[in-house]
């Protein structure tokens, strides 16, 4: 039977959101090609994560070893090479993260399998793998047909799909008998956690994003007031970074974070492609911009074409009124 293989990524004892997104894409490919979906999880003390993965895949392969407590590309390559050579899956999907970008090319070279990175979508047509990628900084989307092989590796970009959990639990198989060769030239010394005050935009349910329309720094307290009232975190578009009003960690877009909150409020943001790229998969998008022709309204679910300094105080007061404050 055909097989789609997914690498599950985890950090600090938790599965990363992108893992579920890649699994959903894998499930879609498996259904259309009558294939089995298999997830691979590598680490130490991760059986509880395998149990969680079992609701997203037909089978979960689990490999535990103290040496892979944290991501280690050389050990991962050994483990995945063994699995791929044994099972010969049609496609191996890997999250397009710093870990995946390091692992996928070297794995492809090791196995002499074609690799394509930063994929937005993938499908099989007449036995050929077809993917959608962006070029020229996101200005062009291309449909790429891969030929010349029956096996492929692809890294999947975050934020392109929503996770889909099954009611049926797949089986869990523990891998045994694989002896890892030591790699003394490379070792993980330390995993540095971000400071507690750091804002994680990718996990926020509500994001209040501000753009050039805010004017200057003296108007930021109004955005902060709205963010506190609605229980959101503040993000921004590129002009705000260039004006040094917010740190680069708050940037959403092509050169920043890709987010998919339940609510995204875009304030004074024109909506150029490089910003929309980072937030277009939000569940609900509300745009406020005095220019009725601003591109942001093309992706917004609700739009307010008025001056933001007229709208925001009223919006804040209404939110507080609803909350009984």
In this prediction, residue 189 carries a pLDDT of 83
Same domain flag for 22 and 112: yes
Q: How far apart (Å, rounded) are the C-alpha atoms in residues 238 and 259?
A: 15
pLDDT above 70 coverage of the chain, percent: 96
Same domain flag for 29 and 160: yes
- Among residues 260, 263, 280, 271, the alpha carbon closest in space to that of 305 is found at 271
Confidence of residue 295 (pLDDT cuts 50, 70, 90): very high
Q: How far apart (Å, rounded) are the C-alpha atoms in residues 35 and 28?
A: 10
Same domain flag for 39 and 102: yes
Judged against a pLDDT cut of 70, whether residue 196 lies above it is answered with: no
In this prediction, residue 179 carries a pLDDT of 86
Same domain flag for 52 and 161: yes
Q: What is the CATH number of the domain that holds 141?
A: 3.40.50.620
Q: How far apart (Å, rounded) are the C-alpha atoms in residues 294 and 272?
A: 9
Same domain flag for 170 and 215: no
- Among residues 147, 173, 124, the alpha carbon closest in space to that of 2 is found at 124
Judged against a pLDDT cut of 80, whether residue 9 lies above it is answered with: yes
> Would you say the C-alpha torsion 69, 72, 73, 76 has a positive or negative sign?
negative
> Would you say the C-alpha torsion 79, 19, 273, 141 has a positive or negative sign?
positive
**Which of these ranges, 23-32, 123-132, 293-302, has the smallest mean pLDDT?**
123-132
Q: How far apart (Å, rounded) are the C-alpha atoms in residues 249 and 134?
A: 23
Q: What is the CATH number of the domain that holds 293?
A: 3.40.50.1220
Q: How far apart (Å, rounded) are the C-alpha atoms in residues 237 and 259?
A: 13
Last residue of a domain, one of 130, 157, 174: 174
Same domain flag for 57 and 167: yes
Residues 38-92 have pLDDT tens digits of: 999 999 999 999 999 999 999 999 999 999 999 999 999 999 999 999 999 999 9
Domain count for the chain, please give it. Answer: 2
Tell me, yes or no, whether 179 lies in a domain: no
| Domain, as residue range, for 135 | 3-174
Tell me, yes or no, whether 182 lies in a domain: no
Tell me, yes or no, whether 73 lies in a domain: yes
Tell me, yes or no, whether 258 lies in a domain: yes
Same domain flag for 154 and 223: no
Same domain flag for 164 and 270: no
In this prediction, residue 12 carries a pLDDT of 85
Same domain flag for 311 and 232: yes
Residues 104-133 have pLDDT tens digits of: 999 999 999 999 999 989 998 887 899 999
Asked if residue 22 lies in contact with residue 93, where contact means CB atoms within 8 angstroms, the answer is yes
Tell me, yes or no, whether 102 lies in a domain: yes
CA dihedral 242, 244, 250, 253 (to 10 degrees): -10
């Amino acid at each position: 039977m055909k097989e789609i293989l997914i690498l599950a990524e985890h950090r600090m004892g938790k599965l990363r959101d992108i893992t579920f997104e890649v699994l959903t894409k894998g499930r879609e490919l498996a259904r259309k090609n009558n294939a089995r979906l298999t997830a691979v999880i590598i680490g130490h003390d991760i059986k509880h994560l395998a149990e969680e993965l079992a609701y997203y895949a037909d089978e979960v392969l689990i490999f535990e070893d103290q040496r892979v407590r944290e991501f280690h590309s050389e050990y991962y390559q050994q483990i995945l090479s063994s699995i791929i050579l044994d099972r010969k899956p049609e496609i191996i999907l890997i999250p397009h993260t710093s870990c995946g970008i390091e692992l996928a090319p070297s794995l492809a070279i090791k196995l002499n399998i074609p690799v394509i990175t930063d994929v937005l979508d993938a499908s099989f047509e007449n036995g050929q793998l077809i993917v959608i990628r962006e070029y020229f900084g996101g200005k062009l989307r291309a449909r790429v047909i891969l030929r010349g092989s029956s096996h492929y590796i692809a890294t999947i970009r975050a934020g392109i799909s929503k996770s889909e959990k099954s009611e049926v639990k797949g089986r869990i198989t523990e891998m045994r008998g694989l002896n890892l060769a030591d790699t003394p030239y490379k070792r993980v010394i330390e995993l540095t956690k971000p400071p507690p005050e750091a804002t994680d935009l990718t996990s926020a349910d509500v994001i209040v994003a501000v753009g050039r329309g805010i004017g200057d720094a003296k108007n930021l307290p109004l955005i902060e007031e709205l963010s506190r009232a609605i229980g959101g975190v503040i993000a921004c578009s590129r002009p705000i970074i260039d004006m040094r009003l917010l740190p680069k960690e708050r940037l959403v877009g092509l050169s920043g974070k890709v987010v998919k909150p339940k609510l995204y409020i875009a304030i004074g943001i024109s909506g150029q492609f490089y910003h929309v790229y980072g937030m277009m998969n939000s569940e609900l998008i509300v745009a406020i911009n005095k220019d009725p022709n601003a591109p942001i309204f093309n992706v917004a679910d609700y739009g307010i074409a008025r001056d933001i300094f007229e709208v925001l105080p009223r919006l804040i007061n209404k939110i507080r009124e609803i909350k009984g404050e």
